[in-house]
Each structure stands twice: as structure tokens, then as C-alpha cells.
Amino acid sequence: MTPPLSSWLQGFRAVSAPLRSLVCFPYAGAGAGVFRDWASAVASDTELLAVRLPGRESRIGEPPLQRVEDAVPAILAALGPLGNRPLILFGHSLGATLAYATARALVARGHPPALLAVSGRRPPHLASRRPPVHGLDDATFRTHLAALGGTPPEVLACDDLMELMLPMLRADFAMSDAFLEPDPPPLPVPILAFAGAEDTEATVEEVAGWERLAGAGFSLRTLPGGHFFLHGQRAVIVKYLTMENL
């Protein structure tokens, strides 16, 4: 019998005897639900899980975290009941950083993931080209969100909804802005990187920099679209995850 999931993980369908688990980490401001539609593209022998950070969805009443390091121990604890099942970690933007930090912690525990897949994110040794945004005034912060394109216009236009979401959004961007490892050692894990051909937040050249951390093989896949290309390329991404995973 599969043990109940932690509040940190959301499952989207029952798999009686999964051969592997695909664990997805959402981008800043998003919850586990952004991966709900992936269930139709994932093979029937693969368990689909998504990480849910505090401050959103069913955890809306919990204070959001502002440091990647504060999230990793709880994520590890949530993954513990999965046992020795092969793990594929996939993260987009901030989620890629969380997936990477989780992969490094799993390696330290002697249970490296089968694959680390990062999407729309520069590697941890490359500092951002833009100044931090989490401290911007509300109007400028909302303009930045609109430029990224990941927040529906109707949400940005609703003052009451934005007042509810801004603390979580600011915390997520603080988490994203602060994470930097100037000289990280390679991971003994294969890395698959996805880049959007028109992404100006994390360019193809920047995403290619993940090769420096790949101690067990590296692949780069460039897909059409801007920073949120993952929404239009769901089936392609899942196909590549399956192909690259042993």
C-alpha cells in the first residue's frame, strides 16, 4: 500500500506499482497544480508528483519561504517514503533551482536521482543579469510579472487577488534571486536542460552552462517559445524525460 503523501507533494493519479517517480518543481508564484495536465502525457508506469511550497493552494495559510535551503529538508522528508524508487527531478525557473538543490542533497544521502532536468534557468554559478526584483514597489513588481508572461492578465488586474498573492510571489522571487553557488562541484547525475529559443530571462547560452555541473552526461534541448515555453511543450518535454531516463 502506498503511504499517504506529505503536504509538500501532490499526486495526480494512482499508480499501483510505479517503476519510477517524476517529481516536478514549479516556477515562482505557481503551485503543484501547474503540472496537473502532465498526467495525460506521462507513461502509465510512472508516478507523477509535484512539489507544493508553503503559501499557495492548500497551504495558503502558511508563511512562504524565502531561501532554497529552508525548503530542501522538508522536500527530502516528503520524498523519503518513496524508498529506492528511481527519481526524475524536473524543475522550471525557480523550480530548476529547487530541483538542483534537492538533487545535491539526495547525492549527499547516497540516493542520487536517476536524472536532473532543469528548464528555463541559468545554472547556480551564473549570477542574474538583472537586479533583484522582490523588493520593488507593488506597481513595478506587477509590471515585471506581466513582462515575464506567466501570470494571467486578469489576475494581475485584480487588486484583491494580487494583495493576497504578493507576499508569496515576493518570497518566491527572493528565493530565486538569492541562490548562488560561485564554484559548485559537478553532480554525479545526468543533467537534461531545456531552453526556450526566445527566452530572454534565461537564454539558451545561459542554460547551456549547466553542462559544467553534469558529472554523468549532459543534454540540451532548445524548444520554441519564451520563458514559459513549458506550457506549450508539455508532451515534448515528457518525451525527452522518458528518453533520457535509464
Could you give the domains of the chain?
9-244 (3.40.50.1820)
Q: Express each pLDDT in 143-158 by its tens digit.
A: 877 877 767 777 777 8
Q: Express each pLDDT in 26-50 by its tens digit.
A: 999 889 999 999 998 998 889 999 9
User: What per-residue confidence (pLDDT) applies to 158?
Assistant: 81
User: What per-residue confidence (pLDDT) applies to 246?
Assistant: 41
227 among known catalytic residues = yes
Q: Which of 21, 92, 93, 176 is catalytic?
A: 93
Q: Which of 92, 119, 176, 227 is catalytic?
A: 227
Closest by alpha carbon to 220, among 110, 87, 119, 129? 119
Provide, rounded to the nearest whole percent, the portion of the chain with pLDDT above 90: 64
- Tell me the mean pLDDT in the region 121-128: 91
Q: Express each pLDDT in 70-106 by its tens digit.
A: 999 999 999 998 888 899 999 999 999 999 999 999 9
Closest by alpha carbon to 231, among 143, 154, 148, 165? 148
Question: Which DSSP string corresponds to 97-149?
Answer: HHHHHHHHHHHHTT---SEEEEES---TTSPPSS---TTS-HHHHHHHHHHHT
Which parts of the chain fold into alpha helices (H)?
Answer: 68-79, 94-108, 138-148, 153-156, 159-178, 204-207, 234-244
- Tell me the mean pLDDT in the region 184-203: 95
Q: What is the mean pLDDT of the chain?
A: 89
Q: How far apart are CA 182 and CA 149, in angstroms?
A: 29
93 among known catalytic residues = yes
Q: How far apart are CA 191 and CA 76, in angstroms?
A: 19
